[in-house]
Amino acid sequence: MSAASPLSPGRLALVLLLLLALLLFSGTLALIAGPAWLPPREVLRILLGGSASSGAPAADIVLRIRLPRLLLGGIVGASLSVSGVLFQALLRNPLADPFVLGVSGGAALGGILVLGFGGALGLGYAAVPPAAFLGSIATALLLFAVAGGRGRLSSTSLLLTGVVFNAIASAAIVFVASLSGLSEGTSIFLWLIGSLSAPRESATLLVALFLLAGLAFVWPQARRLDLLALGEESAAQLGVDVERVKRILLAATSLMVGAAVSVSGLIGFVGLIIPHLLRLLVGPDHRLLVPASALGGAVFLILCDTAARTLLAGGELPVGAITALAGGPLFLFLLRRQVGRNLLP
């Protein structure tokens, strides 16, 4: 199959099935691995015949601790990874990523505002995801307004704006947390670095719904994302209603990022690493890249979280530290290559 051959439904199905198998494998690994390693056969028995073995400590570990966390990790990873693809298509820049651009930071700030001051207004934890969504969409709109103008944003202005947004968001988060007394304990630290250590079932369901809604809106637009890569005017001349597609992308990414950040904090670089890796493996065609990124992002974050839980004997790392350690260098490598191609500024 040469790079020149067109995407067929068969090839699409094949790639997605392979990624699905990888997802099953990483999910199984996540259930087996941890401070207490469980034999694969026992994990399988617990999963299949849950009731027979419930009450046993191993069953509690699998069903109450590892499985919820595995599900949350997969859904957050998928959301962040697809958001990365969409931001890259929207801004026509492979360096775009919700974390790098400060959109995740905006979402976190929205969430923290509700956590810190929402109680006084009668807002409960349920108000955190909508606030995070508002934070991410406000930041994304601000990003267009500040770094925008017509056509393709230069990488320099995009990244500088993102850096500043991130600095402002982190400062504001710490500020809000100090004012409201949230800084006691480690919760604020976990928000800032990103962690999957406190999954709530309702939250997982919400993020899953947002992810599915986002994918349902965006996947049918996938070919239009390819056309957008030719430039907004060329896409328009090929029949794309550019403004409509941009609105859909913006809404979908803000929903997914807001939901993901509201449950896991600032997990960075997933949206950069996975789309880049998949473009190398399966090509840039968005009809394949969008669903493949969802599966790939899920696999990646599940594996990272498994590492976070097992690397440190007797303790755990925030998963955001692991994704940042993996993604930071890759980002620098991509930036370096863009400079080499004279694509900057």
Partner 1 sequence: MSELVLGFEAVRLQLGGRSVLQGVDLVLFAGEILGLLGANGAGKTSLLRIATGVLAPDDGAVRLFGRPVGEFSRAELARRIALVPQRSEVPFPYPAAEIVRMGRAPHLGLLGFESREDVAIAERAMEEVGIRELAGRSILELSGGEQQLVAIARGLVQATPILLLDEPTAFLDLRHRVHVLRLVRGLARAGRAVLVVSHDLGLAARFCDRLALLSGGHVLAAGSPAEVLTPSHLAAAFGIEATVLRAPDGTPIVLPEGDARGREPRTPELAPPQR
Question: Which string of x and - marks every residue 183-222 that binds partner 1 (by CB under 8 A)?
Answer: -------------------------------------x-x
238 binds partner 1 (CB under 8 A): yes
Residues 239 to 278 in contact with partner 1, rule: CB under 8 A: 239-241
Report residue 300 CA to chain centroid gap.
10
CA angle, 245 then 23 then 303, to 5°: 100
54 lies in the site for partner 1, by CB under 8 A: no
Which of 4, 48, 121, 313 is the binder for partner 1 (CB under 8 A)?
4
Q: Which residues of 201-235 are buried (b: 16+ CB within 10 A; e: fewer)?
A: eebbebbbebbeebbeebbebbebbbbbeeebeeb
Q: Minimal distance in Å, beta carbon 9 to partner 1?
A: 6
The first and second tokens of residue 11, run together, are 């090839």
Closer to partner 1 by CB, 222 or 299: give it: 222
Size of the site for partner 1 (CB under 8 A): 37
Letters for 94-113 (x = contact with partner 1 by CB under 8 A, - = none) are x-------------------
> Alpha-carbon distance 120 to 124, whole Å?
10
Least distance from partner 1 to the Cβ atom of residue 252, Å: 17
- C-alpha distance from residue 68 to each of 30, 71, 196, 261 (Å): 11, 5, 10, 17
Q: Indicate which single residue of 18, 92, 172, 277 sits in contact with partner 1 (rule: CB under 8 A).
A: 92
Output the smallest distance, CB 83 to partner 1, in A: 17
Exposed/middle/buried for 37, CB within 10 Å: 0-12, 13-18, 19+?
A: exposed
Under the criterion CB under 8 A, does residue 8 sit at the interface with partner 1? yes
What does the DSSP assignment read for 119-177? GGGT--GGGHHHHHHHHHHHHHHHHHHHH-SSSPPPHHHHHHHHHHHHHHHHHHHHHHH
Q: Which of 68, 148, 283, 328 binds partner 1 (CB under 8 A)?
A: 283
Q: Which residues of this chain interact with partner 1, rule CB under 8 A?
A: 2-9, 88, 92-94, 152, 220, 222-224, 226-227, 229-231, 233-234, 236-241, 279, 283-285, 287, 341, 343
